[in-house]
Structure 1
Amino acid sequence: MTVLTRLQAAPAQLQSMNCAGNIRPIYQALLDEENPQPLAQAFLQEHLQHAAQLPDPLPQDPATWHAWVTAHCADVAGQYAQYLQQRKAGGPRQFFACKAQALYFLQAVAPTKLVDGAWLCGLLPHWQDPRFAGLLCTYLEELGEGNPAQNHVVIYRKLLAEHDLQDSTAIADERYLQGALQLALGACAADYLPEVIGYNLGYEQLPLHLLISSYELSELGIDPYYFTLHVTIDNASTGHAQKAVQAVLDLLPIEADRADFLRRVSLGYRLNDLGQGSRAIIEGFDLERELLAMFERKRPFGQHMHSDYCRFEGQTVNQWLSAPERLPGFLQALQNKGWIKRNEDPQGSRFFQLIDGDGAAMFGVFSAYEKQLIHDWIAADWTSPNAPKTVRRHTQSSAPLPVCDEDPDVQQLNASLEGKDGIAQMPILIPWLAPARHAHPAGLLATRRFIELKSRLP
């Protein structure tokens, strides 16, 4: 039986959910549960059926895939060179019209970035099989080889924290689809090996949007290191893209049904095309819509918190905040009274002065991202004459790895390893390299120990 038919009915947990609108709880369950395999298998089965409806982009002969990947990278490089020429000639940013749009993008893709590499975690038990060396190298590099300064999830968490983007309540349910697929593949690698390596083949190809995002984030004063890091490691010469192709060739069956294996590889590859990609997320941004959505999230907390002293067009602030449909009128009333001056420096608007700066009466009411939405909506066509031409770049810390001996999980991990030989330590370490654990102190320690043992054990 094929992967699409051999599974029994989906577990009750999945049957009770309409996946089209409840992906986030599936994502969380796949991340947190100790035995996510039944849910993961049913989730994968459903989405592999969707993937089967998409066109197959892979060349028929896998022997040509190395050249195919190289040609793809050359094409991306050519398109990026054209982009740079347009920008140097004075052309505008193509992705992020304002900083708020860039922050919106960073938050929207967070569910995927925070499980980076998860589709490969189920391959760790194959650490002694040389055919899996490239895939495991890819996964361990996603984990920064146990160095928090290089661990992709740690880096992205720091990026979110730096811009006050940790609140996930604003993230649409559909944004969790790719992360859920990655977690499901990682949980079911034993049964879905062709799909795992096919997904990896698709995900590790260098996309043009990664290069443009890095360039424009830097212009807006946002550290692009997470994205530039992927530009370097996903290269087609020695990086993850090359390793992805080689993994398929190394794991192709010798006598078993190669055609069915490659069919399943292609299905895994096409899983990458489900849901909204980065470009669609960027292009779907509407500043005023996001502003109103933000005010609606704040409205239940603020509709009874204002005094009746200040009125706009005869209505108190509490009255304006009494219903979501009144929010556009409230913003217009603020403009009519001169508290908001569109297309001017936001610092000249009384409303913005109330929420930002030293002594602001509403200090702390809005997060950094929420204030950026308000700032950019007020500014509109206005641009600061003092906008920075260059911004700081990420610098890799040369400081030693932090010592976390007092962490209880580190202490328990060390105790469980004590007195055991290297072979016996590996099954203890592997669970700590899972997506929900590897970015924690014990997970980072386990990653370093796993790599050390892997390098010297037979």
Structure 2
Amino acid sequence: MTFLTALSGQPASMLLSAHGRYQHLYQQLYSEVEGAEEVARDFVQAQLTLARELPGDLPEVPEHLTAWVEQRCAEVAQAYAEYLEQRQQGRPRRFFQNKAHALYCLQRVAPTKQVDGAWLYGLLAHWHDPRFDGLLTTYLEELGDGQAAQNHVVIYRKLLSDHDAASEAGLDDDHYLQGALQMALGLCGEDFLPEIIGYNLGYEQLPLHLLITSYELSELGIDPYYFTLHVTIDNASTGHACKAAQSVIDLLPLGEGRADFYRRVAEGYRLNDLGPGTNAVIDSFNLHDEVVAMLERKRTFGQHMHSDYCRFEGKTVNQWLAKPGQIGAFLQALEDKGWIKRNQDPTESRFWQLIEGAGAAMFGVFSGYEKQVLHDWIAGDWISAERVPAVRPGRGRPLARDSHRPTDPDTQSLVESLSNLTDEQQLTALIPWLSARRHCTPAGLYATRRFIQLRARLR
């Protein structure tokens, strides 16, 4: 029985007709459906089989990990210094052609970013074991220590919301693979402890793309705080990268199982290389193709909504939208008739005037992201050398401490359920509220703060 069949009770072919396999699995694990742990276990095993075929670069012995982390960090720092020097000499952005390109990438990595840290969830039960301190500190910091302004998922969701770019439309199934894998690992902490430690070791290294992304988002007027936050906490000196390496050493068996444990660590490390990475997502963007794909997705909603007043090459707008595969030709017809003036200020195009501005006939038809795609496609070379004013990272306001009875119903219920429990029983009861789905809710944020408080008290 495949993990898809086990999850849905239906053949995989029927499942894939509605969603891709990774997207469906992602949704099921996120929703905490009954039986998710068994499905997660099968999925992790399948991904490990694939990962074993991939090359790895870990040192042969774990004692060299700390030096390995430091060397990697030094190489990234040197590469970033070279990047900055190139930019100062007038070289263009390396990653993002325009703001639409950046938002495109932010959308496609969102399924992973919105379960940030989930691979460590299953280790919370080891709160009493000091060997797990580095891993648990990493997880709790991903959760912002219960403060909304520092919770990584809350920050990322706000980033998407600020640019009206939270839609999952257009995402490929592979974009859900890493997020599904992270949640699956988090549900199997006892079965895959070495692999989780190895995965954490790989994920928490400071990559060059994080530094460049932060720099270029700021140039494009997009708050880079989510990314700059990771630059600081993933450092090799005292941050997550350092803790990840030390955790391998701390949890290695002292007896004969040591070599096998480290072999499994290395296999978990290679899980990071499955699915499309950040650079692949960046390289997959083509502005014209994204315009066509976006309009194709909206075509079925608009094919009966236009009057017959305007015709382009003898066809009404409804006729252009009636069949798939005509969007590219329709855009060319709009250009030929002067409704779209490429490589000029978009406000000079009649088509853009229908979308944006006072009294726009199609006001509200396109999301912020969709308008940005259209804007940048029309503008083309007109903005190629224009620098968007940088933004200052927005850190929000700290979440207020619980000085009075909470008003959120889930938080109220949670507080009441804890009232007659011992401290240790409370810790156990709080753990489910620190899951990928719950930790960013008001009750989850409260649970995180309470968990930290009780853990400190009982240590």
1:401 is displaced (CA, Å) by: 4.9
The CA deviation at 1:399 is 6.3
Structural RMSD (CA): 1.7
Deviation string, structure 1 residues 394-447 (Cα, Å, up to 9, x no partner): 244256358781211111101100122211111110000011100001000000
Q: Does 1:16 align with 2:11?
A: yes
Mapping 1:20-419, distance limit 5 Å: 21-32=20-31, 33-383=33-383, 387-398=387-398, 400-401=400-401, 405-419=406-420
Q: Is the 8 A contact 2:342 2:377 kept in 1?
A: yes
Gap runs ≥5 in structure 2: none
Q: Matched residues in 2 for 1:387 and 1:11: separation?
A: 47
Q: Do 1:147 and 1:401's aligned partners in 2 also have CA atoms closer than 8 Å? A: no
C-alpha displacement of 1:346 = 0.7
| 1:158-195 deviation per Cα after TM superposition (whole angstroms, max 9, x unaligned) | 11111111211221111000001100100001100000
Q: TM-score, normalising length from structure 2? A: 0.95
- The 8 Å contact of residues 99 and 376 in structure 1, kept in 2 or not, is answered as yes
Q: Which residue in the other structure is 1:442 paired with?
A: 443
Q: Which amino acid aligns with 1:414?
A: V
The one-letter code sitting in structure 1 at the alignment partner of 2:59 is: P
Shift of 1:386: 6.8
Amino acid of the residue matched to residue 266 of structure 1? A
Which segment drifts farther, 386-395 or 203-212?
386-395
Aligned-partner Cα distance in 2 for 1:255–1:287: 56
| Gap change, CA 1:51 and 1:341, over 3 Å in 2 | same
Residues 199 and 265 in structure 2, CA contact (< 8 A), matched pair in contact too: yes
What is the percent sequence identity of the aligned residues? Answer: 61
Q: Is the 8 A contact 1:76 1:208 kept in 2?
A: yes
1:306-356: CA deviations, max 9, x gaps?
Answer: 010111111100011111221111101100110000111111100001001
Name the amino acid aligned to 2:289: R
What amino acid is the match of 1:84?
Answer: L
Tell me the TM-score normalized by structure 1. 0.95
Q: Helix, strand or coil: the match of 1:379?
A: helix
Q: Runs of 5+ in structure 1 lacking a partner?
A: 1-7
Change (3 A) 1:385 1:138: closer
Work out the CA distance in 2 between the residues paired with 1:404 and 1:158.
Answer: 26
Deviation of 1:358 (Å): 1.6
SS at match of 1:328: helix
SS for the counterpart of 1:288 is helix
- Maintained 8 Å contact 1:197/1:247: yes
Q: Structure 1 counterpart of 2:367, which letter?
A: S
Distance 1:214 1:105 in 2: 13
Secondary structure (helix, strand or coil) at the match of 2:156 reads helix
In structure 1, what is the Cα distance between the partners aligned to 2:386 and 2:40? 51
State the shift of 1:385 in Å.
8.0
CA distance in structure 2 between the partners assigned to 1:238 and 1:312 by the alignment: 63
CA distance in 1, matches of 2:291, 2:367: 13
Contact 2:213/2:227, CA 8 A, preserved across alignment: yes
For 2:44 and 2:11, the matched residues in 1 are separated by 16
For 1:72 and 1:390, the matched residues in 2 are separated by 29
Q: Which amino acid aligns with 2:12?
A: M
